Amino acid sequence: MNNTNDKIKVRLCALLLLGGVSACNNEKEAVTQQTSETSAQSVSKQDNLKKIATSHQQYSAEEFFKTVSLSGSSINHDGSAILVSSDVSGVFNVYRYPMNGGESTQLTHSTSDATFGVSWFPQDDRILYVADNGGNELTHIYVRELDGKTTDITPGKNLRAAFAGWHKDKKAFYVTTNERNPKITDLYRYSVEGYQRELLYQNDNNFNIGVVSPDGRWLSLTETITNANSNLYLVDLQAENQPAKLLTPHDGDISYASFTFTPDSRYLIYSTNEHGEYAQAWQYELATDKQSLFYQANWDVSFVQFSDDGKYRVVGVNQDAQTQLDMAEVASGKQIAMPELPAGDLRGVNFSANSKKMAFYINSDTSPSNLFSYVIGENKAKRLTRSLPSSIDEAHLVMSEVKRFKSFDGLTVPGLLYRPKTASASQKVPALIWVHGGPGGQSRKGYRAAIQHLVNQGYAIFAVNNRGSSGYGKTFYHLDDKKHGQDDLQDIVYGKKYLQTLNWIDQDRIGVMGGSYGGYMTMAAMAFTQEFKVGINIFGVTNWVRTLESIPPWWESFKKYFYNEMGDPATDQDRLRAISPLFHAENITNPVLIVQGANDPRVLQIESDEMVAAIRKNNVPVEYVLFDDEGHGFRKKSNRITASNAYLKFLQKHL
């Protein structure tokens, strides 16, 4: 189950592709093969299949997880280095990458807990980074000093902290924590020297903390009313006892959220779906209270950001499950002239302090994120990483295709289809419906090693964006409200029916899998339908009453959001029990694999423990993989390899 920010940014859920090279990857070749089979001089069908097998290179999970996962692109004060998080060691740590190329330098050395870089300090090479304990999501913020020593600047037990930005004077930064009250997040200001702090905003109304203006005067807040309705507020941090000012009085269901302030602190840029199906970016002028359109598209505007000096702005648009960037000079409106780059999406754009340099990633279905640096105006960008292991040939991987089908009620439902290159009319392949997390997430374009592994081994993947998914308008997003395990489940069933129309899919060998909410949908598919031969449930909800009653305290401000989406366990318990697979386990007759992290604060281990026990009572094959050192999502490479091998072994045995 993911929070609202997870939906915007889109998250947790692992899915997508894999592939190989086939001798029968288009209709012409299939016809040629069929003709040759009827010819007296043809090679046998068995010989043809042997040729396919030898032309298609298969790779192990161990090979796929030699892929290096990278994130973060903060550029240091003098523009010489980029702060990057990498799992090259098997555990995420923080690294310094020279802008001009060359060897990276490891800055943190954790062997157990994932560690992620946040930012360089604005005038030296100290860094801020975050880490939790075993995936429990109780993140603390640390400073790494110039001499390598580290300090936890948010000490204490059972608290959750997050970085909230820098003051433009470079003398202070902001942090949010729930240390005063586990259910409420407050805002603190920290000094760059000595890390003394002061409570800047005590969040007694339990709003969602938004963004702080660069000059440190203004703070935006969001009030969650329902999952379709919210309000935006503004606080003057320099006015004593100043109440939060409502910026968005309205009637009906309209959603608002903060994007950023402009670098001169004159405008708040925010998101709203007030004016149509899709979220637009609007601006609020602090001096005049005037509100006006900033940016719109025929899809959701996902984010807006600026270079620190205000010279450039970057807008992200979620266009049919793929992020499109619009990068332009603010004064002239001219697009930033970019050099020729490899195919894929630009991600993680950051600028140097003087806006002369950029750092960014390129990611595609067949290539994991690679880091680039670029001096604006030059003819060529510098590639700084090779994330795909040299042992894997990208030509053997598969690009997804956006496909749409009609569901039970005529609704058009989109998805991403990955076709193994071994698949043909004469060599049909088994398939899996992949269901994303959320509720309200989205399966998106991009490289995923775990699913690459499955497709490479000959399993088609159809990542269905069922009703309730982000990215397709607010009407589509809310079609599953309090209809989970019903209408959205039928979208999954009709996704299977669509696969059965494809002549390269084995109609009788189709399974379902997913993580988090997708894990719930997997178990719902197994308990409430007889459509799928197997199910793979990755830390999925099986008892909605317990899950909603045990929402982590730091999500208190979103509780109304979840209850409006799923139901209130105090008043909707009968319906929640009716859609919870645990209470209908006697209907499960086909094999299931369940994978769980013991430290998961969102979907508790007991959810999976009880589901496994209930299925075993049916004398139905059920396999269980439990990671003692993981939470909601698997961060250690060794565990991801174990999970991927478990998926494959289970599918080879039962599908």
Tell me the C-alpha distance between 344 and 361, whole Å.
9
Classify 451 as helix, strand or coil: helix
Residue 553 banded pLDDT, cuts 50, 70, 90 = confident
CATH superfamily of 4-21+56-64+392-654: Alpha/Beta hydrolase fold, catalytic domain (3.40.50.1820)
Give the pLDDT confidence of 341-392 residue by residue, as tens digits.
Answer: 999 999 999 999 999 999 999 999 999 999 999 999 999 999 999 999 999 9
User: Which is nearest to 580 in space by CA: 502, 515, 527?
Assistant: 527
Give the pLDDT confidence of 391-418 residue by residue, as tens digits.
Answer: 999 999 999 999 999 999 999 999 999 9
pLDDT of res. 15: 27
Full DSSP string of 244-305: PEE----SS---EEEEEE-TTSSEEEEEE-TTSSS-EEEEEETTT--EEEEE--SSEEEEEE
pLDDT of res. 558: 77
User: Which is nearest to 158 in space by CA: 136, 143, 130, 128?
Assistant: 136
Tell me the C-alpha distance between 243 and 92, whole Å.
41
Using CB atoms within 10 Å of the CB of residue 313, give its burial: 0 to 12 exposed, 13 to 18 middle, 19+ buried.
buried
Give the pLDDT confidence of 180-209 residue by residue, as tens digits.
Answer: 999 999 999 999 999 999 999 999 999 999
Full DSSP string of 522-546: HHHHHHH-S--S-EEEES--S-HHH
Full DSSP string of 584-605: GGGG--S-EEEEEETT-SSS-H
Residue 263 banded pLDDT, cuts 50, 70, 90 = very high
- How many other β-carbons are positioned within 10 Å of the β-carbon of residue 328? 14
Name which residue leads in pLDDT, 71 or 33. Answer: 71
> Strand 357-364's sheet: what is its strand order?
345-351, 357-364, 367-375, 382-383
pLDDT of res. 56: 81
User: Which is nearest to 257 in space by CA: 285, 289, 290, 284?
Assistant: 284
pTM of the model: 0.89
| Mean per-residue pLDDT, 45-55 | 46
Tell me the C-alpha distance between 322 and 368, whole Å.
15
Q: Where are the domains of the chain?
A: 4-21+56-64+392-654, 157-206
User: Which is nearest to 601 in space by CA: 213, 275, 138?
Assistant: 138
pLDDT of res. 438: 87
Per-residue b/e over 145-163, b at no fewer than 16 CB within 10 Å? Answer: eeeeebeebbeeeebbbbb
Looking at every residue in the chain, the average pLDDT score rounds to: 91
